[in-house]
Amino acid sequence: MERIGIVGVGRMGANMARRLHQVGYQITAVYDSYQPSATAIAQELGATACHKLSELTALSEIILTVVTDDKAQMSLFKNKKDNLLIGAAGKVFINCATVSPEVHIQVAQLAKKAKAESLEGCMASSINQALAGTLYLMCAGEKSTFDRVKKILKKLSDEGKLLRYIGTAGKAAQVKALVNMVMNINTAGLAEGLGLGAALKLDLKILMEVFSQTGANSRVLQTDGEDMLNRDHSCFFSGAHAAKDSGIALGLAKKAKRDLPLAKATYQQYKKMVQQGFGDLDKSGIAELTFPGRGQKKSSKKSAPLPVKADRP
């Protein structure tokens, strides 16, 4: 059985590590730029908490990376002093962060030079699904690489029911960017509907019920509607992430010469959410911009304080 290393053990990475450990895989090495996170999960799973990326590569055959953004993803493979590609010949990298398609393409090229293989494993699910092994997992890269690690990927994606091979390097990241672009539009749109309903003093429970029975229904109505009413914005997927992902999609649109006014408006709303200091809240926190009497305001009227809750378990 392959030894697995995991780089980036935040909420997602740590739960993926736990899941793989649970189904019998050996997590031999973990790394995080925030050392205490690495130490904690290493102790929990009997792994080595590495201080260097090259050390993690040496201890693993299959390496999952679950980092935050383009810059973090690139530095894992390009940092001159220390990177994952030192001694990486024959190893496989599975990159699970939501990063730009071009970053995946660059990483694939760098890995190839180092005689290693690389695969995108874009996830369209959240923390709970990571732990349960029921992630919706979209993969891209060489088909042979996908087949080589399929056994492991299946354990993360409901025995493969939620596993999809999308195409060559960058393609899964494109699909992921589109998923999040549309999800963010639906979320920001829902926040407008409920916020206006609140301003009109409608019964918001009835309004939500009507939405759910009609053409206004959506997945985000089910996942975020109640939270918008209750101002429960504990974080599954942050407003800052939403802004980043809509930005990636708009970058693709620009290159493809597509004008997408709703995606643009959504990006502006999530940027505003970040600028107003709510970027760490869940994406449902976009409702702080649309409900009357909420959010940060520069007017003399004091707005209702925002109840910031801790992350959910």
What is the nearest approach in angstroms of its own copies to the Cβ of residue 224? 9
Instruction: List, edge to edge, every strand of the sheet that includes 117-123.
Output: 48-49, 26-31, 3-7, 62-65, 92-95, 117-123, 137-141, 163-167
Binding site for its own copies (CB under 8 A): 124-125, 136, 138, 162, 164, 166-167, 171, 174-175, 178-183, 185-190, 192-193, 195-197, 199-200, 202-203, 206-207, 209-211, 213-220, 223, 249, 252-253, 256-258, 260-266, 268-269, 290, 292
Please say which residue, 23 or 202, places its beta carbon nearer to its own copies. 202
| Residue 81 vs residues 30, 74, 86, 270: alpha-carbon distances, Å | 19, 14, 10, 36
Please say which residue, 108 or 163, places its beta carbon nearer to its own copies. 163
What is the nearest approach in angstroms of its own copies to the Cβ of residue 174? 5
What is the nearest approach in angstroms of its own copies to the Cβ of residue 190? 6
What is the nearest approach in angstroms of its own copies to the Cβ of residue 262? 5
Give burial (CB, 10 Å; 0-12/13-18/19+) of 111: buried
Q: Which of 132, 128, 53, 137 lies closest to 87, judged by CA? A: 53
Please say which residue, 91 or 176, places its beta carbon nearer to its own copies. 176
Asked if 41 contacts 17 with a C-beta cutoff of 8 angstroms, the reply is yes
Please say which residue, 8 or 195, places its beta carbon nearer to its own copies. 195
Please say which residue, 54 or 296, places its beta carbon nearer to its own copies. 296
Q: Which of 292, 304, 255, 294 lies closest to 273, judged by CA? A: 294
What is the nearest approach in angstroms of its own copies to the Cβ of residue 68? 19
Q: How many CB atoms lie within 10 A of CB 258?
A: 11
